[in-house]
Chain A
């Protein structure tokens, strides 16, 4: 049984997924309501960080919870652009009244000024710094995590120009949209820097504009994701801080993109269901997610609140990478007893989690769950580019049907079916790579997830892997032939660290690296740190890839890194790892790159080669 942790330890354990927390951590999101609970009006303290801190501290004392949040909203970066006007409201988050750069002329005037004078923080950014410093003075940093919300790059760009104007720009003048977002990114970076300088632990990058209700996934991938990646790189590497991503409502098509943007936690509404999000990306980064703010938290009984917490904990929190929260900034009218019920219930669910003891949760309401679709539907429902994922088979496109059948084949351990639908996929024009990653690997991921929930067992994992193996001979020659020989070349040393036996993921990594023109030395299973290093030296390799299946075997990744450092070769190779026990947080802790799958491994090596070429 885990020892009693401080709130701070609990939150960091859940966020980084390097160990189990002692109990389910909870973030009550006491921002504007926190100020009011402290007995003051929001608009009166937004420019007085110390007063804001004291008000929220009273609220923390009243309700509890594992973090104390500095700031209240996402407007801080846009507020640093001259001409921006906010209305500070008595009992709510501020409201944006005037967009500062609604026209090209206004934007270029600002850009010129910005380039000449540099970043000029607004009074409120300085007030939030004071708020953070006050928490540090109070000693709260010893016991609690201190996050702060900061508007994300594309959302700030949209706030600079105006929402509909920005959407128009994305289609009519994408180069200009990029220019605005690039400048917005620089402002956001500066705000983050100031937050970490003041003592914040986390910048939660609120980027609701990326929701698939607003932007089709491919537009997000072009106009949102690259800027998020650069922002999180800056936060992680230059500021040595922690970044989270917050995006609201329907985000399913971009879950895997978000998981790979460099943040350590994804939080938001997660339609169509947080359990599905967990299945898709939960092993890679931690999740923070919500009770349904209105159906349950506002109008439900305390039992309904407790049950929904239990359901989330069982479905999403079983492996520790989960933090509970109540929707967005909580409403004034949410009854206190429901707030208490949520916070207390989280404290009562201990790790390791006894899911069975939580009771029958099959009928519990969850927003977006197929059983409980609720009143809300996606505004992009008819947009094919947005709603790619369907639930009914008759709605499926030929390609979606192939993926679904491949997932079924893996879950049913039906090798013949896997072969049949692999061939059909090829007939329908899918690439071998699509079949591996969108169909077969997804099935493996789902079985792996069920394993983590104690719903399937090791023998099931092996059967699933064998099923995938049956289909691979059809695809392997195609994957190998895909290497055109023009790409970056170099040698990559790959192997399973000591104590590991399951090598299907490692074999895929080898295959995909070969398919991309790399020379691969496959050291096989049970590889010692010395072997990785010796082989890399002997073969003049550019990268070392390590596969880890169990948490205990992750130490060998660390040992490999230490060994290289001891030999003064700390930066000589790209060190990357993947596998069941690996995730972004652990990678950052050890100081090696993490790749979620074989494709990611290839990207890591390619990026590394490109960086080295630039440096040379």
Chain B
């Protein structure tokens, strides 16, 4: 069993012994079809609505005593920089710099360096198709964390992920000078959340790296669930989040940022259990404002 290797990202700490810090709940903003986005390539969006969503997450993280982050998504280099700029100005929470194309990810990284927010930026993510330019860019600008997508399509088992980290990602990370990445186990459909949970445990045990997954990715395909209605979708999402957290998940991507309210509540509840046990049984000192202290005062916070 490897030593846990927690990663500090701005005011948050991701990873470490289970329960010592809360999981990081991540929601996506500015994706292609996001209702606030008017033109994903020009970078035009409804600033008022976007600011409202960001404020909501800031408030939820405080009230529920959990760590939250923004998964900022871009399709075009200039548009991506606008999105990062806007989000960074309105929050102190970590930002994932996420794009499907290397060119856009690099532009985001360089912009984060220029803006001076690398200490709370997560590069999302290194994957099978990572290009040399990205490695070079990461050598020039070191973000607080680098995420790796350790999902081997040819071997989607925990063993496959371990092997992929060892043979594919570790040399890349050494080149960048990154000791501990955040590992995204990758989820292909709803049933495979269970496989990702096992992968999270395996990665934490083998390497000590913070690990997690975007369990939300597969929910749109779960058509039978969607037809039951929003409440049931949220219940299943919350179940997936809590299951992944209980398996040791440090990085918990719940999907679109509009879901943040329900997800913050579910995660906060789980952190109460984990945090108390970590404190009582392992002697962990919980960080200030932890869910254990916040969740019991939610009604007061709401009234205020």
* Complex Cα spacing A356 to B100, Å: 36
Is A561 an interface position by the 8 A CB rule?
A: no
Is A462 an interface position by the 8 A CB rule?
A: yes
* Complex Cα spacing A498 to B188, Å: 16
A458 touches B227 (CB 8 A): no
Is B139 an interface position by the 8 A CB rule?
A: no
* Complex Cα spacing A526 to B224, Å: 29
Q: Which B residue sits closest to A20, measured CB to CB? A: B223
Q: Which A residue sits closest to B192, measured CB to CB? A: A459
Is A457 an interface position by the 8 A CB rule?
A: yes
* Complex Cα spacing A416 to B147, Å: 37
Is B283 an interface position by the 8 A CB rule?
A: no
Is B17 an interface position by the 8 A CB rule?
A: no
Contacts of A501 in B (CB 8 A): 153
Contacts of A466 in B (CB 8 A): 154
0 or 1 for each of B172-190: is its CB under 8 Å from A? (1 = yes): 0000000000000000111
* Complex Cα spacing A195 to B100, Å: 48
Is B52 an interface position by the 8 A CB rule?
A: no
B189 touches A457 (CB 8 A): yes
A502 touches B227 (CB 8 A): no
B224 touches A458 (CB 8 A): no
B227 touches A462 (CB 8 A): no
Interface residues of A in 510-549 (CB under 8 A from B): 525-526, 528
Is A231 an interface position by the 8 A CB rule?
A: no
- Closest Cβ of chain A: how far from B243's Cβ, in Å? 17
- Closest Cβ of chain A: how far from B29's Cβ, in Å? 18
* Complex Cα spacing A34 to B2, Å: 76
- Closest Cβ of chain B: how far from A2's Cβ, in Å? 10
Is A350 an interface position by the 8 A CB rule?
A: yes
Is A454 an interface position by the 8 A CB rule?
A: yes
Q: A352-B227, A353-B223, A354-B227 are in contact. Are A459 and B100 (CB under 8 A)?
A: no
A499 touches B224 (CB 8 A): no
Is B191 an interface position by the 8 A CB rule?
A: yes
B226 touches A498 (CB 8 A): no
Interface residues of A in 432-484 (CB under 8 A from B): 454, 457-459, 462, 466
- Closest Cβ of chain B: how far from A141's Cβ, in Å? 31
B223 touches A352 (CB 8 A): yes
B191 touches A528 (CB 8 A): no
Contacts of A1 in B (CB 8 A): 226-227
Contacts of A459 in B (CB 8 A): 156, 188-189, 191-192, 195
0 or 1 for each of B125-162: is its CB under 8 Å from A? (1 = yes): 00011000000000000000000000001101000000
Contacts of B223 in A (CB 8 A): 352-354, 454
Q: A352-B224, A352-B226, A355-B224 are in contact. Are A525 and B129 (CB under 8 A)?
A: yes
A457 touches B191 (CB 8 A): yes
Contacts of A458 in B (CB 8 A): 188-189, 191-192
Q: A354-B224, A454-B224 are in contact. Are A499 and B100 (CB under 8 A)?
A: yes
Q: Which A residue sits closest to B157, measured CB to CB? A: A459
Identify which of A458, A462, A502, A526 gathers the most chain B CB atoms within 10 Å of its CB: A458
Q: Which B residue sits closest to A350, measured CB to CB? A: B227
- Closest Cβ of chain A: how far from B67's Cβ, in Å? 29
- Closest Cβ of chain B: how far from A184's Cβ, in Å? 45
A526 touches B227 (CB 8 A): no
0 or 1 for each of B158-169: is its CB under 8 Å from A? (1 = yes): 000000000000
* Complex Cα spacing A459 to B198, Å: 15
Say which residue of A462, A525, A528 sits within 8 Å of B156 (CB atoms): A462
- Closest Cβ of chain A: how far from B81's Cβ, in Å? 20
B100 touches A526 (CB 8 A): yes
Identify which of B129, B156, B227 gathers the most chain A CB atoms within 10 Å of its CB: B227
Q: Which A residue sits closest to B190, measured CB to CB? A: A457
Identify which of A454, A499, A502 gathers the most chain B CB atoms within 10 Å of its CB: A454
* Complex Cα spacing A356 to B156, Å: 28
Contacts of B3 in A (CB 8 A): none
* Complex Cα spacing A466 to B189, Å: 18
Interface residues of A in 539-594 (CB under 8 A from B): none
Is B282 an interface position by the 8 A CB rule?
A: no
* Complex Cα spacing A354 to B232, Å: 14
B153 touches A462 (CB 8 A): yes
- Closest Cβ of chain A: how far from B187's Cβ, in Å? 9
Q: Which A residue sits closest to B186, measured CB to CB? A: A501
* Complex Cα spacing A1 to B101, Å: 31
* Complex Cα spacing A525 to B189, Å: 20
Q: Which A residue sits closest to B128, measured CB to CB? A: A525
Interface residues of B in 44-91 (CB under 8 A from A): none
0 or 1 for each of B211-238: is its CB under 8 Å from A? (1 = yes): 0000000000001101110000000000
* Complex Cα spacing A473 to B129, Å: 25
Contacts of B101 in A (CB 8 A): 498, 528
- Closest Cβ of chain A: how far from B293's Cβ, in Å? 40
* Complex Cα spacing A528 to B104, Å: 13
- Closest Cβ of chain B: how far from A150's Cβ, in Å? 37
Identify which of B128, B153, B156, B192 gathers the most chain A CB atoms within 10 Å of its CB: B153
- Closest Cβ of chain B: how far from A197's Cβ, in Å? 40
* Complex Cα spacing A502 to B128, Å: 13
* Complex Cα spacing A286 to B188, Å: 27
Q: Which B residue sits closest to A352, measured CB to CB? A: B223
Contacts of B153 in A (CB 8 A): 462, 501-502
Contacts of B228 in A (CB 8 A): 354
- Closest Cβ of chain B: how far from A449's Cβ, in Å? 16
* Complex Cα spacing A353 to B225, Å: 10
* Complex Cα spacing A454 to B218, Å: 13
* Complex Cα spacing A350 to B190, Å: 22
* Complex Cα spacing A356 to B128, Å: 38
* Complex Cα spacing A46 to B135, Å: 75
Interface residues of B in 96-116 (CB under 8 A from A): 100-101
Interface residues of A in 323-361 (CB under 8 A from B): 350, 352-356
- Closest Cβ of chain B: how far from A1's Cβ, in Å? 7
- Closest Cβ of chain B: how far from A461's Cβ, in Å? 9
Q: Which A residue sits closest to B33, measured CB to CB? A: A552
B227 touches A457 (CB 8 A): no
0 or 1 for each of B20-60: is its CB under 8 Å from A? (1 = yes): 00000000000000000000000000000000000000000
* Complex Cα spacing A355 to B222, Å: 12
A498 touches B100 (CB 8 A): yes
- Closest Cβ of chain B: how far from A273's Cβ, in Å? 24
* Complex Cα spacing A462 to B160, Å: 13
* Complex Cα spacing A1 to B233, Å: 13
- Closest Cβ of chain B: how far from A382's Cβ, in Å? 44
Contacts of A352 in B (CB 8 A): 223-224, 226-227
- Closest Cβ of chain A: how far from B244's Cβ, in Å? 17
Q: Which B residue sits closest to A524, measured CB to CB? A: B129
* Complex Cα spacing A353 to B224, Å: 7
* Complex Cα spacing A481 to B132, Å: 36
* Complex Cα spacing A350 to B224, Å: 11
* Complex Cα spacing A498 to B190, Å: 22
Contacts of B226 in A (CB 8 A): 1, 352
Q: Which B residue sits closest to A503, measured CB to CB? A: B153
* Complex Cα spacing A1 to B189, Å: 20
Contacts of A355 in B (CB 8 A): 224
Contacts of A526 in B (CB 8 A): 100, 129
* Complex Cα spacing A392 to B29, Å: 56
- Closest Cβ of chain B: how far from A475's Cβ, in Å? 19
- Closest Cβ of chain A: how far from B164's Cβ, in Å? 14
Contacts of B224 in A (CB 8 A): 352, 354-356, 454
- Closest Cβ of chain B: how far from A407's Cβ, in Å? 22
The 22 sampled A-B contact pairs (Cβ below 8 Å) are A1-B226, A1-B227, A350-B227, A352-B227, A353-B227, A354-B224, A355-B224, A356-B224, A454-B223, A457-B188, A457-B191, A459-B188, A462-B153, A462-B156, A498-B100, A498-B101, A501-B153, A525-B128, A525-B129, A526-B100, A526-B129, A528-B101
Given A352-B223, A498-B101, A525-B128, list of 7 further CB < 8 A pairs? A1-B227, A352-B224, A355-B224, A457-B189, A457-B192, A458-B189, A525-B129
* A-B pairs with lowest CB-CB distance, top 9: A352-B223, A458-B188, A458-B189, A457-B191, A354-B227, A457-B189, A501-B153, A352-B227, A354-B224
